């Protein structure tokens, strides 16, 4: 038996033993922030990539980060540039918080959501399960 056939057999067997849920829900992975402190600024090199992945406007995500970091800055192409020095962990923690609060559906935990504003209140509407949840601020 060729190695390839053996591998295929192995896969087939492995798939058979997986719970169905695993097969249907694709894992949601957000790229880890690539940041660097340069002088008195912090560059987040893959800012656009992260925003694209979580399907949120760069300006919204940036506004959130500015508020949490207590700073300002600019978008420069695919980068975000912050005034001040912020380590990788701080940025990652904030982004993780943003994603769990404003991207993942609290009902089914899927990222297929959009933010809908009604007056002064924002809701997270899930395209996967149809849940509408208020966003905790």
Residues that bind Zn ion (CB under 5 A): 105, 107-108, 126, 128-129, 131
Q: How far is the CB of 91 from Zn ion (least distance, A)?
A: 27
Pick the closer one to Zn ion by CB: 37 or 107. Answer: 107
**Cβ 7 to Zn ion shortest distance, Å:** 35
Residue 81 vs 108, nearer CB to Zn ion: 108
Question: To the nearest whole angstrom, how small is the minimum distance from the Cβ of residue 110 to Zn ion?
Answer: 5
Q: How far is the CB of 24 from Zn ion (least distance, A)?
A: 14
- Pick between residue 75 and residue 108 the one whose CB is nearest to Zn ion: 108
- 107-116 long-range contacts (CB < 8 A, ≥24 apart) are 107/131, 107/133, 110/25, 110/28, 111/28, 111/54, 111/55, 114/55, 115/56, 115/60
Instruction: Give the phi and the psi of residue 104 in degrees, each rounded to 5.
Output: -80, 135
Which CB sits closer to Zn ion, 94 or 105? 105
3-state secondary structure of 89: helix
Alpha-carbon torsion, ordered 35, 37, 42, 47, to 10 deg: -10
């Amino acid at each position: 038996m060729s190695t390839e056939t053996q591998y295929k057999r192995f896969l087939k067997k492995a798939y058979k033993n997986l719970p169905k849920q695993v097969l249907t829900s694709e894992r949601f992975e957000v790229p880890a922030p690539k940041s660097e402190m340069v002088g008195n600024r912090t560059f987040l090199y893959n800012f656009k990539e992260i925003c694209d992945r979580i399907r949120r406007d760069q300006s919204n995500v940036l506004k959130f980060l500015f508020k949490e970091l207590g700073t300002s800055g600019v978008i420069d192409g695919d980068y975000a540039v912050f005034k001040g020095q912020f380590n990788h962990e701080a940025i990652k923690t904030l982004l993780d918080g943003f994603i769990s609060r404003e991207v993942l559906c609290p009902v089914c935990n899927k990222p297929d959501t959009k933010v809908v504003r009604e007056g002064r209140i924002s809701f997270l509407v899930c395209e996967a399960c149809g849940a509408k949840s208020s966003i905790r601020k």
